[in-house]
Each structure stands twice: as structure tokens, then as C-alpha cells.
Amino acid sequence: MNRRLVEPRDEGSALIMVLGAMTVVMLVVSVALNYGLHAMHHTRHSTEWYQAFAAAEAGVDNYVARLNQEDNYWQTVDCGNRALQGPRTDQACGWNASTQVGWLDVPGATDAQFHYEVDVTDTPVDGTIHLVATGRAGGDTTRSIAVTLRRGGFGEFLYYTTYETKDPADYIDIPKRDGGDGMSPSEAMKCATYQWAGRDSNCVDITFIGGDQMNGPVHSNDSILMTDGTSSPNTGKGPHFYGTVTTSMPSCNREGGRTVLTTDCYRSGNSPSAGHPVFDKGIGYRSEVDIPQSIGDLRQVVVRGQDSPVTLGCLYTGPTRIQFLAASGSAAPTMKVWSPYSDPTRLNPGCAGTASGSTSAWPRIVPVPQNNLIMVQDVPSTQLPLPPSGACAAGSLGTVPDTSTGTDLPNADDWNQTLDDASCRYGTAYVEGTLKGRVTISTDNNIVVVGNLLYQGGPNGADALGLIAENSVQIYHPVSKTQSCKDQKTWNGQKWVTTTVCTWVRGTSNLTGSLKNPEVDASILTLNHSFEVQQYDVGSNSCVSGSSACLGKLRVYGSIAQKFRGIVGRGSTGYLKDYNYDSRLRYAPPPYFLDPVRSAWGQKTFGEVAPRYGG
């Protein structure tokens, strides 16, 4: 009997299972491999992303280093710098619209380069350079950053002084026992030495006193003198510094790991105690900062020359008064100008304006020269007719305030008009008013603030005013004078002849026009002298209601840089200080404002922008 063999029903299932398992394994391996490759790509891209940013930063550092090595590097195109090469028209370098972008390797890096583009359009005006640096990594990953570069300026400080001593030009050559300084101005030039370097002890050093408030960064190359207040409500209190304070006083230098106490960084006028100055952010050492000795090439901004800007600023001659007029709405800002020794027909375009009166050429209403310079020069010796060598005629610059009831400017009864500073041949500017816009005033002599000087947009607006004086910036303070006469006998060879000799003697009273609690919104720079108050030792900073002697506080919003420490008050006379820093000055100084000598370039603003190339 034949039997049929029956095959098992699961025959071949093992093979199917093996094939299935292999398929699953292959899928897992494939997914893992794909994930790994993707992760490697992501990691590589992420690495290149950060490398590109670092390369862009290296580009910024490279350009800043070139600037600090050669201060005027920005003025010409460096054809040998491949990082500057690009599609641009530059005949000196032979570059044009089809020129390939140049890249420089990042030192010490592999496959990372940078390129940068430089915009120096604003550099002659406000000292800023706009730089866009692009970094590249891996050949095609790019990132770009935009920075604003600027040299360290006086806008870094609310208050800067070279010498913490009285201006030698202000010394009175009569004995101290008679109220003088005991040395002549020429002898006082020996005071132009740092106290820490051995300044003569007879020099008059100026103090910060109780009640003074400095709300911003302060620096002095000299040793700062602090004294407690001696009158209520500041008796026993020291000055208050709300910002950082630095000095070039060697005893404050921690170099070499030496221990430095706070009291090693200033001098105390209180004996035997150290006084009570308050430093909210401390006091430390900083190397000396040098002030310019002249306005340099600023004159080319107002006198046409090879390097002059397209639009010249305004040049006025002799004593000139400038009153900024508040502008309403979108109206263009204007200023009222008195400049009796300037010929309106020979001024730069836009600087003559229109006459505001019918009886004379001055005053005139003039547009404020936006982002530009106003310069007031001495009267040239060749100009005819020459003004008097003494004070100008009373009222030749209007009245203070500028109303029908104001007092003449100049004021014939003002003691200040007997001084050499008041010469009608000097380039002195008298300024006041409310500014809308950005402008700088520069003078061959002094700048005298004759009224509140304010920003229309307030502290957070866009207004900016620079005041640069070859000599001093002063707060107007007219005081009384009296005449003292005495008979004097002289021998004429035959007999004694009696003549009466009269001299002016300063009085002790404020005159109408003195400023009570004035405010000055500006960046102030005095190249050879000081920021000071005229006749600072007359009037009182402790105000009694209705008192004509009251002066109060001097409020400054901006910055002050001066060669010698100007006096705004002494003890209870003159003004107390209320100085407040305009932080905008770090990156947006007034136009054509001068910088310290030997200051370094650095970043003022920083931000990433869309990649310029690839990305």
C-alpha cells in the first residue's frame, strides 16, 4: 500500500522570518545611519555657524587694530588689504563693479575668513566709522555684524580736568593777606604741574565740596581735592559721585599687585579726618588723557579749502551773540544772531538769514546749520574800521533777557567789562536759548552763557550742542563796580602838578541779568583755560527767598572737559554744582567735536545683520 507523505504547513516559514528580521535590522541600521549622517551635517553646520560669527568679530578686531596703528587709516583706501577688496569703484586700486570680493584668513583658524565694508561718510562730522564685517566658515556659511567705531572721546566723561588748580590767567598779583593770590599770572604758570608731581604749594587748588553732585563718569589727570560742606544743609557732608571716578594719581595705581585704599586716590581738605566723599561706583586709576591744544583743522569747515565739506558752516567775526529759538512743530530751527563786526553780504550761504529789525543789519534770524559748525573768530587786524580795543559799546549785542525791559549786553556797569577778556576785537560768543538740532560753536576767545541753554527735545531727544573755546567757557555773572579816585602829585621839572587818577574797583552786588539756578545742556571743551563762573566769589549758593544775592545751583547736562579746574563757587559764594552726564555722547557726539590726543579707537555700537554674502 502506498502512503502519501504530507508536507508540514509551516515549511519555509523560517526563511521568511530570517528575511523579515534582516529587513528590520537593515531598516534600523538605515535609520540610524541616516540620523547619524544628518546629525553630523547639523553638527558641522552648527560649528560653521559659530565659526562664521567668530570670523566676523575677527574682521572687526583686524580693522580696529589697523586704525589704532595708524590713526588716519580710514582716510584712504588700503589697496593692499584684501578684506577691503570688493565690487566698488576705486580708481586708485583699480577696483570696479565686477571686482571679486576679497577675503582674509582668520589667523590660527582653519577654513575661516573675513571681509569688511567701511562707510566713512560721517567720520569728518562726528568721528564715527560704520563697519560691516562678514565672516565665512566652511566655504559657504556666512554671518555679518555691523558696528560703529569711534575714538575714545571727551563724551566718555561727565567731567574731565587736566590740572585741579586755578587757571594761572586768573591769578591776582597782590599779597594773600590783601585778598590776592600772592603771584602774578606769569609766575602762576608753574602751577601747570600735577600736584602728585610736586606742584608749588602756593598754587590755589580747587575742591569738590559737600553739596556738589556729579551724576556721571569723572576723570582727572591730577589729584582730586575733596572737602566737607561748611554750611547747612551740607555741614559735615562730602561731595557725592554717582558714577565712576578715575584719577592718574600714582598712589591709586594697583599695578604690581599693590594694595590701594580709597583714600589713596584723592586728597582731603579736611584735617585730620579724610572727609566724607561718597563714591557710588568707586574710584580707581586711569592713565593720563591729553587735551588738544588747538582747534586743529576745524577752520576748513567754515572757510572753503581743498578738504572742506560740501556745505560750509557759519563764520562770524568779533563779539557775536547767538540765541537759539524754540521751533514749533515741524518748523525748521532758527537762531537770532547779533554780530556787528560781520558783513552780512560776505557770510557763507545760509548764514546771513534775514534782518529782524528795520534800523540796522543786526540782529538777524538765521537757520541753525544742522550737523555743522559755527565759528566766531577774532577781528582781523586788517579789517577796517577796527572796533575799539576795550569793551564794546553798551547794548551792542541787545539786552539780557532779550526783552524791552532787559539790561544792556554788554552792561556798562558790569565789572567784567573792565577786564581784558571783554575786548571788542576778540572772537567771543554769547549763547543762550533752546536748541532744536545738532550744532557745535567754536571760538577764538571765550564762550559766555548768558541765559539757560536747553535742548528742545529734552534729555532723550536727538539734539546736541558742542561748545569749544580756545580759552574759557564762562557763566555770565555781571557784578557792580565803583570808581576810586585819588590825587597824585608829579614833578614836571618846574613844579609839582596834582592830577586825579581814577580806577575801577569791583563791587559786591549781583547786577540784573545774573542767572539764578541756570541750566546748560551741552558738551563743553576749553582748550587752554577753564569752565568757570564770572566773579564766582560774589553772590550766594544758599538761596533765601527774594534775595538778590541768590545764585543757587549750576546744572549741567552733558560733559565738561577743561585744562585747568574752573571755579564756579567758593564756600557759600557762587554756585553749587549739579552736573549730569548725557550718555548719548558715547556714540553720538556733537558735530566736529574734538577728541583727546592719543585716544584709541573702539566699538560704540554692535549688532548682527543679514549676511552680506551667502548665508
Confidence category of residue 57, pLDDT binned at 50, 70, 90: very high
Distance of alpha carbon 312 from alpha carbon 540, whole angstroms: 44
Q: How many residues does the chain have?
A: 615
Decide: helix, strand or coil at residue 23: helix
Element (H, E) at 320: strand 320-325
With cell 588689504, the residue in question is 81
Decide: helix, strand or coil at residue 20: helix
Average pLDDT value for residue range 292-301: 87
pLDDT of residue 364: 95
Distance of alpha carbon 184 from alpha carbon 174, whole angstroms: 8
pLDDT of residue 272: 47
Q: What does 29-66 look like in DSSP terms, one character per residue?
A: HHHHHHHHHHHHHHHHHHHHHHHHHHHHHHHHHHHHHH
pLDDT of residue 37: 52
Confidence category of residue 523, pLDDT binned at 50, 70, 90: very high
Distance of alpha carbon 589 from alpha carbon 582, whole angstroms: 10
- Distant-in-sequence, close-in-space partners of 606: CB < 8 Å, separation ≥ 6: 145, 146, 147, 148
Q: Are 288 and 310 in contact (CB under 8 A)?
A: no
Task: For 159-214, write each residue's pLDDT tens digit.
Answer: 999 999 999 888 876 666 556 667 877 788 889 999 999 999 889 899 888 888 89
With cell 554671518, the residue in question is 143
Q: Please determine, for residue 6, whether its predicted confidence score (pLDDT) is greater than 80.
A: no
pLDDT of residue 484: 85
Closest to 393 measured CA to CA, from 374, 406, 410 = 410
Q: Please determine, for residue 150, whether its predicted confidence score (pLDDT) is greater than 90.
A: no
Confidence category of residue 614, pLDDT binned at 50, 70, 90: confident
Average pLDDT, the chain: 87
Q: Which three cell numbers stand for residue 272?
A: 585730620
Task: For 60-103, write each residue's pLDDT tens digit.
Answer: 999 998 988 786 788 889 999 999 999 887 778 989 988 999 99
Task: For 351-398, write each residue's pLDDT tens digit.
Answer: 999 998 766 789 999 999 999 999 999 999 999 889 988 999 999 999
pLDDT of residue 32: 60
pTM: 0.80
pLDDT of residue 273: 55
- Tell me how far the alpha carbon of residue 228 is from its chain's centroid: 29
More confident residue, 568 or 571: 568
Distance of alpha carbon 493 from alpha carbon 485, whole angstroms: 25
Q: Please determine, for residue 324, whether its predicted confidence score (pLDDT) is greater than 80.
A: yes
Cα-based distances in Å from 69 to 65, 74, 103, 247, 601: 6, 11, 21, 26, 10
Task: For 409-449, write each residue's pLDDT tens digit.
Answer: 999 999 999 998 999 999 999 999 999 999 999 999 999 99
Query: Cis ω on the peptide bond leading into residue 333 (within 30° of 0)?
Result: no
- Distant-in-sequence, close-in-space partners of 126: CB < 8 Å, separation ≥ 6: 371, 588, 589, 590, 591, 592, 593
Q: Are 274 and 310 in contact (CB under 8 A)?
A: no
Average pLDDT value for residue range 527-546: 85
Confidence category of residue 600, pLDDT binned at 50, 70, 90: confident
